[in-house]
Amino acid sequence: MTIQQTGRFTTEQDLRAAIRSGAFTGHTAGLAPGKLQCNIAILPAKHALDFLRFCLRNPKPCPIVGVAETGDPALPTLGPDIDIRHDLPRYRLYRDGQFAEEVTDIAAHWRDDMVTVALGCSFTFERALMAAGIPMRHVEQNRTVPMYRTNLPLVPGGAFGGTMVVSMRPLRGADVPRAVEISARYPHAHGAPVHVGDPAAIGIAALERPEWGDPVDIADDEVPVFWACGVTSQHALLSAGIPLVITHAPGHMLISDIDESSDRPI
């Protein structure tokens, strides 16, 4: 049985080592429980200030948890051995606002003017939800959480703007208040949901056709619950039309050494 099939690791360092070696290239949902998982955006330094301004103005979908030095692939505040060129299971490259390719290592694409920004991820609070007996359907079905564009507006920052992207988890109606309470404890991981119920109310036409991730089953006694999603930052980066942007592939996050409830320097 391969590492990808088992998804079992002793430590987060073991997991990153498996990712760095290419032995693990799957999604990270349900892995490294209790550790902060991060969305990643890598962009040229001349655009980084506007992007950071955009994230600060939209902290719900884009909570900043780490910023690297220009040209430095390390993120020492998130883990002393992190090398962002190798430590994501999958990356996406975008050129001039268009998807170019998906790769498992970006050493060949790294430049001295690149800045890495790490953003909190909703995978972080899923452990607490599951510990409270609230199941996560995408984890059960070994799928990437479904994500959707919405009509929820963002506050622009420079060339960055647009509308929010959300992730969806179907929950039993009786579990919704508890899920709201628990996830609200993690503002660095998007916090409480932004919408519960009718997807059309936030501009989603069909739950079975997510723009990112995989569709999941929804039972008759369940309602869709939507959280702000870090893929919002990718959507904003694409709309800016930057010559080269590198991000995580949706669902394939950076695993940090940081406890999910800790205060973190960036």
pLDDT tens, position by position, 223-240: 999 999 988 998 899 889
pLDDT band at 1 (very low <50, low <70, confident <90, very high): very low
Q: Is the pLDDT of residue 6 over 80?
A: no
pLDDT band at 121 (very low <50, low <70, confident <90, very high): confident
Is the separation of the CB atoms in 266 and 120 below 8 Å? Answer: no
Res 2: pLDDT = 34
The full set of domains in the chain, from first to last, is: 33-122+239-259 (3.40.1640.10), 125-231 (3.30.2040.10)
Q: What is the mean pLDDT of residues 53-66?
A: 96
The CA distance from 232 to 66, in Å, is 17
Percentage of the chain with pLDDT > 90? 71
What does the H/E/C string look like for 144-207?
A: CCCEEEEEEECCCECCECCEEEEEEEEEEHHHHHHHHHHHCCCHHHCCCCCEECCHHHHCCCCC
Res 123: pLDDT = 75
The CA distance from 245 to 146, in Å, is 23
Res 259: pLDDT = 83
Res 265: pLDDT = 54
Res 263: pLDDT = 61
Distance in angstroms between the alpha carbons of the first and the last residue of the chain? 38
Distances (CA, A) of 182 to 25, 120, 147: 30, 16, 21
The CA distance from 100 to 110, in Å, is 15
